[in-house]
Each structure stands twice: as structure tokens, then as C-alpha cells.
Amino acid sequence: MKETLLIFVPTLTLVPVAVVAALAMRRISLSAIEGMARQPEVKGELFTAMLIGMALIEALVIYCLVIGLTIAGKF
């Protein structure tokens, strides 16, 4: 029974974090695209900053995935 329930741990850990991260990434990309449209001359710098921000948010999601998999004993 316990083993069966443990299968759901990665899912339950990941889903809320993924939803919040998706919202945060939406905000980042929206702002970056707006900025690029307003000032195309700083497009490169905005793209770099956007990627770094997204990478940092994405790292949190991957931490949760790893924690979930560790709890489930699959990692």
C-alpha cells in the first residue's frame, strides 16, 4: 500500500510547482517580448536576461522532480 502511494509522490510534488513556474515563465517571456517590441536594439541583452531568469525558475522545478523521485525511491 505504502509503495503504491509513493508512486504518486513525484506527481503531487511536481504539479503545483510546475503550474506556478509556468505562470512565472509566462510573466518573464511576456515582459521580455514587450521589451523587445518597444526597443528592438536591446533584443540580444533582453533575450540573455530572459534565458537566465527562466533557467533559474526551471531549476526549482527540477529540484522538486528530483526530491519527488528520491522520496519515491526511483532516483
Nearest distance from C-beta of residue 1 to another protein, angstroms: 26
Nearer to another protein, 24 or 65 (CB): 65
Nearer to another protein, 2 or 55 (CB): 55
Whether residue 71 contacts residue 6, with contact meaning beta carbons closer than 8 Å, is answered with yes
Nearer to another protein, 1 or 44 (CB): 44
Whether residue 13 contacts residue 67, with contact meaning beta carbons closer than 8 Å, is answered with yes
Nearest distance from C-beta of residue 10 to another protein, angstroms: 12
Nearest distance from C-beta of residue 71 to another protein, angstroms: 16
Measure Cα distances from 9 to 19, 23, 56 in Å.
16, 22, 23
Q: Which residues of 45-65 are buried (b: 16+ CB within 10 A; e: fewer)?
A: ebeeebeebbeebeeebeebb
The residues that touch another protein, with contacts defined as CB under 8 A, are: 48, 51-52, 54-55, 58-59, 61-63, 65-66
